[in-house]
Structure 1
Amino acid sequence: MAHKPEVFLKGKYKIFFGLNNEFRICYNDTRPLTDNYWQSVNPVVKLVPTFMLQLTIIILFSRVLMLFLRPLRQPRFVAEILAGIVLGPSALGDISWVSNNITPFETVLCMETLANLGVTFYMFLVGLEMDLTPIRRIGKTALSIAIAGIILPMSAGAGLYYLVWEKQKQRAPFIGAFFWAIALSVTSFPDLARMLSDLKLMYTDLGKTALTAAAVCDVSSWFLLVGTISLINAHEKLHVAIPVILSMTAFWFMMRPLIAWLMKQAAASKETSTEGKYSDTHVCLILSGVVFCGYITELCGAHSIFGAFMFGLMIPSGELGTTIMDKIEEYVVGILLPPTFLVTGSRTNLLYMFADFPLGVALLVILLACSAKIVSTLLVCLYFKCPKRDSLALGVLMNAKGVLVLIVLNEGRNMKGFDQQTFSWIVSALLIMTIIICPIVSFTHKSARHLKQYYHRNLEKSKDAPLRFLVCVYSTRNLSGLINLLQISNATRRSPITVFAVHLVELTGRATAMLIFHDKQKEADVGKNATREKAEAEQIVSAFESFENNNHAATVQPLTAVSPYDTMHQDVSNFALDKHANIILIPFHKQPSADGGWTDENLQHKQVNQNLLASAPCTIGLLVDRGLTSSVCAESQNGWRECGIAMLFVEGPDDREALAYAWRMVGTPGLNLTVVRFLPGKDVYDMSENAPEDDESGIFTAMFEREKEKQFDDDYVNEFRFRTMHDKSVAYIEKQVNSGDQIVSIVTSDYNNFDLYIVGRGHGTISPLTSGLSNWSDFPELGPLGETLVSTDFESPTSVLVVQQSAPPPSGSKRFRSSAPSTGIFGNSMQSAVDTFVNHRRSDDDY
């Protein structure tokens, strides 16, 4: 076991009692004086170059470590705290040259002062970004997790500190137990939000529960920290907390109305301007308010971070908050905050972690500190009978630590509540807590084994079960077609539908993605001062609420998803998984023009659509809307106007899925469905028989797969015909064709007067009937038949819905299913009898 250093030399420094609360450092420093007794060497000029060098090195080290840790899915906080530890006495700081020239002791006060300024502005950004609205509607599970996540970790922190306090009471008073307790109860809200965004769990129920509980933990921990610091500074006299409480109350009830008045004046002055409402002057006033609020709380005996945090909470979300975040966030996080990590690293010495205690005791303390919050969350989740994987993931996520906990620890160190050894223990524990989050959550919620059970949530297998739609809307121009498509989806009390209407917005000017759930009970707030984005979001919400009011068997949950375009498809897919959606509806990336052509092509929306088609965990439908709103489900004086829908069936799982969706529409008032099935003609069979013999094994494999898929098609089509044979609104037609050109010719000549065409995308299957159509492709996301229909010149432009079954699961399974789809009342043993029955009912081409 190592022994604590009593006195040692490090370059020009002589250090006494290196592990204790108080260091005595002796060094020679020549300060020549002039005749008027002023120093001839300005100390600021001497310290500033050293500080600039330190800042440069800590930022460089952080960036390099981020590059190495990013593939391991570690957050930025881990890289930054490790950079501080590397530059501290645990590694490079133990080298005399480094301690003399890069991290000299005389720059400590300068570094700590700038670190305090950095954390003050950082806490302002935390308050600005934190939304307390979910706390008002917090559920029992989230509230119970938050309460247990405060009580049990605080008890564990105080108990663990007391466990080692007897042996080190000369170096660290018992007040350190309070800071250990608060540090273990903190869940860093901003860092947790960034982790959930990186893990693509922000939009899930797990993510919402974790964020809500984290907000409660953070607010409660800050109140506890304010009380602790105030009592310690006033030697445990309760009345000293009164000025802090009064200042916080004054901030909330006096400055908050003032900010609201300034925002109103700014909105009035920019009423007719196309530019933003808030100028640099407004931003400077807000930043000055941060410093002023921090100064007031310092005078009251608390830290400046509390005033800054409260000031951030007082600023309402909207354009002002976004403008401030855009202008200062990167500067605060990238420049002002790194000194905090350097100060923390200089106070952490991993070399002497086991100097006074056996290795087992120290490791036990660290392990129990790491597990306190996990155990408390698991107990609550077990009580509410949550799934085990969600319970474990939630417990680990609630252990997320960040800059907030460093502030708590450094305050405890400043008040001599820790010695260097116990400070190093708790820093090591919080590092371990944060490092294990992404690997464990990725294993529980991102592994292929977990995702397999959620894939293939298809309409073909849903039958008459309630449907869950995830409808993606890029702008208000997508509304009419998608809503009318939902209206003809035949929502009934027996088979209701649930619609998650997601307004997809590009992430700009924020560090993390976010999800906004709109309160349907709240009156829409769209006025002349509303931003364009907010007005568009409210218009989308209003349209879907109107759809819900007119359809009593439909339930709508409107929300806005803010995410980068590059990863937007992952957010949509994860939300579909979490909500067990059966189908995702997305709009085409082009808008129709008045002359029947196309306009306003959005390549970013096109990329999102293609990414979704490649990775969607359920059925996905891509709607090409060319006037669906004016022709479908129009109610006239004589009743419902008839509208025609054609489903063009070729072969394969996508076509079966398209037929399943068309089948669900049957029963909608005024809707007539015509299913046209194209069967291979004699020439197609002749081409297969006359194929070259050099690849005989490949031919037999393709023939086997085609026959298997044909059997699946026959089973499903026959079930559809059997169940709809008495329905006069359904017609079934079969046509024999030998090429894709014949399909186009038949559709344009005989079936060119429908309001909507539904086709399968045919992704992953090679059909001889459509092979000629796929030689050229401008829109591969539509499939060969869908793209042909969109480009075909009908008498009037028609809408097309392209349907694709779920993409293969992450394990890499092949597109061809190894098991037959659900065939309902038909089994293989009954197939010949059914064929006989159907053939008897068929007259030539029409049924």
Structure 2
Amino acid sequence: MSSLGKIRHHLIGPVICANVTGQYAFIGSVDDPFRRNYPVFMRQFICITFAYLTIRLILRPLRQPRFVCSILAGIAVNAIIRGDYKYFVTIPKEELMLARTVGALGTTYLLFLTSVKADITAIHRTMRSASIIGSSSVLMPFVMTALVAHKLTLPGMKTPAAQPMFIIGLSLTRFPNVVHAFNELNMTTSDLGQLAVSCSVVSEAIVWLFMFLGAYVIKPSFLLYTVLTSAAFLLLIFGIVRPVIMLIIEKVPERKPVSEIYISSILVVALVMAALTDMIGSINFGVMMLGLVIPNGPPLGATLSEKIELVTLEILMPMFYVVIGFNIDVSLVDWKVSREILLIVLMNTLLKIVGALVAALCCKLRLQHSVLLGLMLGIKGPYDVYLLNRWLVQDIDRKAYTVTVLSQVAITAVLTPLIDVFYNPHRRLSESVRKSRRSMQTHPSNVELRILCCIHSEDDVPGIISLLEASNPTGASPICAYAVHLNELVGRATPFIVPYNRQMRRTPSKISFHIMRALDNYSTNSNHLVKVKPYMAIAAYKTMHEYICRLAQDELVPLIVLPFHGSQEMSNATKAVALRNLAEKIQAYAPCTIGTLVDTGMHHRTNKSTTFSCRVGVIFVGGSDDREALALAFRMVGRPNVRVTVVHIIVQDVGKDIDEIMQEKIDNGLIEVFRAKADADPCSTYRQVVVEDSEQAMGEIQGLKNKFSLVLVGQKRGTGTVFPEETMLNWSDNPELGVIGDLVASSDFRGETTSVLVMHHHGDPKVPFRDPSMERERDYLLRRSVC
């Protein structure tokens, strides 16, 4: 061949021609297996993607998970390909080799991805319960099923060791399956979901125990080989790989992306680790350990997740389900012969649920949660099928394989909707909120005040510190600030909230370090009148409110302070919307009062050369939210260099119902208490303003412009129709702040020196605060109104 001909051959390649029968002919290397198999592979990929999307759309009302839809899509595609369609010719096994290779690569990277997202420290909180429940959910079904299977001869078992291995595989709860399913159900943030994940980790530990035990049973000398090679591999992981990974993380600049070279190298190393541990007998061990030693979350864990998750789930894994569907042949199954396998699978699942139920009850879980936990641990997933797929060649035949896979799909198709329907992760939170609500009004003045401060960025810290300083911490009533740095979940499977000192050692963050150092310095400079307890929360914005509300509930916090999403310039509109939704969910589920801080200039009042000074104004119209603002102002009275002014706006000639009359009585009682306290403090003043309508009230509020460095105001009113919020909020830029809150938080009112704290009571603003002294009078008014 001439030089020009060689160039043409390499650049253009073979020309593919198709005849009318759908067969492909290659001009060039006709016998090249890749060129013969590639068109089949492309047809498989197109068909499995289209089938999955169609089945997912059809089964969406039934709340079926990705695993069930993918298996059904694989079965449907291979049924079509095996049919008498001229376009889809029968696929020889050798032409399935490319799909097998891609599918195996997909399962390997899916396990690596799941391990990177895993949070081992989440087990510590529930270690005792997870150990008991996880062990019971594995050992009980294994022992009972083995006793029953001992008297049966399971069809399709090719070797004597196949039957016990088959029962062990059914009894295990695989960690990747649980995490994969819970991500779809959005349950990893719930207490019960985290307990189930911890139980699955215990089950994974039992896997390795069975592996060593099996090596000893096969040949005692294998046990020494397995132990030594496993120890050598762990030494490689923790002695060489992990230090290199930590060095890579240290070299990544803050808020900068990880280099593509590092990402590509780690993905290649994952395959190398899988190949090394495949020599031991477990290809999963190397990939899992490599994923676990990578610090999850940003920068490295988050980047790995972003890079490989979409490719793994949407491109590589579909080919795995093509292979599964190819190995399943319903026409070969004789249900009369295979009923023993079906019986074993169903009995094993029921025993797993019962084992988890009994152990959970022993750990003092509620009966409903115990049953749901058993259902969660009974979920099957891709790694159960992956294990069966590896056994198919030597240990079990195709009939047993088909019955087992179909039964596991049926079990998951039943359990997943049941869990999704009957378990509400917000139920525990909402029930606890109703039982233990707290507010600034009911908080005693002679005990420690606990405030939960949410922090998004370093810009939120000065305003938080100034608010804490203005809240008048004293020896008799110090302040304990729970400072929670909120980080968006990017590269984790298990969201968490932990004290910062523990998390600092695992995922170092310069931003968190600067925030916590500033708060710690303030605590030291306040002579420890303000005690700071730093926390770090990593979760998705849509579920972050659960962690914040539970921390407030567990620590009996009466006030949560949120930075307003519009306080700083935000170029990311998506993040601004997410923060707004987060604030709304916190207000809906919080067990205490919420204060939204619109910070612009209050922190400019303090510096190292001057003492703290602040002019606080309270706009009081009436209602539970305004009373919360006034209750916080109570604490500020008496603080040196802090002047507190309450502007009480009274609206004449407004018709009120019984509840509004009671609200007014409570308002007047609280005002009298403040006036008595303000008379003893020359820096505190009280002023009444009488108005006739909302327009005149708004004018009076506008007159307060530039007179205060901090304005306290309630979110909603309880004074009849003088502030028709349903109508006025339609014209507001930030309706979540309320009518008056939106007015004083506007740039025209605040300018560059005024900050605003908008208070929201945890209950319905229409429901007045009840105290025993008012109940008899309210009952009397109700009887009188009936007459």
- Other-structure match for 1:3: none
Query: Alpha carbons of 1:107 and 1:181: their partners in 2 closer, same or farther (altered >3 Å)?
Result: same
- Other-structure match for 2:16: none
Deviations 1:594-621 (A, max 9, x none): xxxxx55664454235424544223432
Q: Residues 437-516 of structure 1: matches in 2 within 5 Å?
A: 437=416, 439-445=418-424, 451=430, 454=433, 457=437, 459=439, 462-464=442-444, 469-488=451-470, 501-508=483-490, 510=491, 514-515=495-496
Asked if the contact 2:122–2:496 (Cα under 8 Å) also holds between the matched residues in 1, the reply is no
- Other-structure match for 2:40: 50
Deviations 1:746-803 (A, max 9, x none): 4565796433211112279874257797674222232221222233557972211112
Inter-partner Cα distance in structure 2 for 1:617 and 1:118: 40
Matched AA of 2:220: L
- Other-structure match for 1:559: 536
- Other-structure match for 1:213: 199
- Other-structure match for 2:501: 520
Inter-partner Cα distance in structure 2 for 1:73 and 1:384: 31
State the aligned residue count. Answer: 741
- Other-structure match for 1:82: 72
Q: What secondary structure is seen at the aligned counterpart in 2 of 1:445?
A: coil
Structure 2 unmatched ranges of 5 or more: 1-22, 782-787
**How far off is 1:363 after superposition?**
6.4
Asked if the contact 1:498–1:556 (Cα under 8 Å) also holds between the matched residues in 2, the reply is yes
- Other-structure match for 1:624: 598
Asked if the contact 2:729–2:739 (Cα under 8 Å) also holds between the matched residues in 1, the reply is yes
Inter-partner Cα distance in structure 2 for 1:757 and 1:484: 13
Asked if the contact 1:188–1:405 (Cα under 8 Å) also holds between the matched residues in 2, the reply is no
Q: What secondary structure is seen at the aligned counterpart in 2 of 1:826?
A: helix
Q: What secondary structure is seen at the aligned counterpart in 2 of 1:459?
A: coil
Query: Alpha carbons of 1:402 and 1:575: their partners in 2 closer, same or farther (altered >3 Å)?
Result: farther
Asked if the contact 1:193–1:512 (Cα under 8 Å) also holds between the matched residues in 2, the reply is yes
Query: Alpha carbons of 1:571 and 1:248: their partners in 2 closer, same or farther (altered >3 Å)?
Result: same
Deviations 1:208-264 (A, max 9, x none): 333333323224324534764x56xxx811322444433333333235444356457
**How far off is 1:428 after superposition?**
1.8
Of 211, 224, 227, which residue of structure 1 is paired with 2:210?
224
Q: What secondary structure is seen at the aligned counterpart in 1 of 2:404?
A: helix
- TM (normalized to structure 1)? 0.74
- Other-structure match for 2:760: 804
- Other-structure match for 1:401: 380
Asked if the contact 2:649–2:688 (Cα under 8 Å) also holds between the matched residues in 1, the reply is yes
- Other-structure match for 1:691: none
Q: Residues 630-779 of structure 1: matches in 2 within 5 Å?
A: 630-631=604-605, 643-663=614-634, 673-682=644-653, 685=654, 708-719=659-670, 721-722=672-673, 725=676, 728-729=680-681, 732-747=686-701, 753-762=707-716, 767-769=721-723, 776-779=731-734
- Other-structure match for 2:3: none
Deviations 1:633-682 (A, max 9, x none): x9999xx8564433222233433443444456667677564433211125
Asked if the contact 1:577–1:617 (Cα under 8 Å) also holds between the matched residues in 2, the reply is no
Which stretch of the first structure deviates more once superposed, 539-548 or 473-482?
A: 539-548
Q: What secondary structure is seen at the aligned counterpart in 1 of 2:732?
A: coil
Asked if the contact 2:449–2:479 (Cα under 8 Å) also holds between the matched residues in 1, the reply is yes
Query: Alpha carbons of 1:154 and 1:363: their partners in 2 closer, same or farther (altered >3 Å)?
Result: closer
Of 161, 166, 188, which residue of structure 2 is paired with 1:202?
188
Inter-partner Cα distance in structure 2 for 1:580 and 1:433: 40
Inter-partner Cα distance in structure 2 for 1:545 and 1:128: 32
1:249 and 2:231 aligned: yes
Inter-partner Cα distance in structure 2 for 1:112 and 1:54: 12
1:187 and 2:164 aligned: no
Q: What secondary structure is seen at the aligned counterpart in 2 of 1:248?
A: helix
Q: Identity of counterpart residues, as a percentage?
A: 25
Inter-partner Cα distance in structure 2 for 1:580 and 1:197: 30
Inter-partner Cα distance in structure 2 for 1:553 and 1:265: 37
Q: Residues 332-343 of structure 1: matches in 2 within 5 Å?
A: 332-343=312-323
Deviations 1:685-726 (A, max 9, x none): 5xxxxxxxxxxxxxxxxx565x52242232254156358735
Which stretch of the first structure deviates more once superposed, 210-219 or 130-139?
A: 130-139
Inter-partner Cα distance in structure 2 for 1:601 and 1:109: 48
Q: Residues 21-100 of structure 1: matches in 2 within 5 Å?
A: 41-70=31-60, 72-87=62-77, 92=80, 95=83, 97=85
Query: Alpha carbons of 1:583 and 1:57: their partners in 2 closer, same or farther (altered >3 Å)?
Result: farther
Structure 1 unmatched ranges of 5 or more: 1-29, 33-38, 593-598, 686-702, 809-814, 834-847
Asked if the contact 1:162–1:177 (Cα under 8 Å) also holds between the matched residues in 2, the reply is no
Query: Alpha carbons of 1:522 and 1:62: their partners in 2 closer, same or farther (altered >3 Å)?
Result: closer
Matched AA of 2:711: Y
**How far off is 1:83 after superposition?**
1.8
Inter-partner Cα distance in structure 2 for 1:78 and 1:289: 31
Matched AA of 1:188: F
Q: Residues 156-167 of structure 1: matches in 2 within 5 Å?
A: 156-159=144-147, 161-162=149-150, 165-166=152-153
- Other-structure match for 1:821: 769
Asked if the contact 2:562–2:596 (Cα under 8 Å) also holds between the matched residues in 1, the reply is yes
Matched AA of 2:381: G
Inter-partner Cα distance in structure 2 for 1:64 and 1:383: 44
1:789 and 2:770 aligned: no
**How far off is 1:186 after superposition?**
1.8
Query: Alpha carbons of 1:358 and 1:411: their partners in 2 closer, same or farther (altered >3 Å)?
Result: closer
Matched AA of 2:454: C
- TM (normalized to structure 2)? 0.79
Matched AA of 1:715: I
CA-based RMSD of the aligned residues comes to: 4.6
Q: What secondary structure is seen at the aligned counterpart in 1 of 2:424?
A: helix
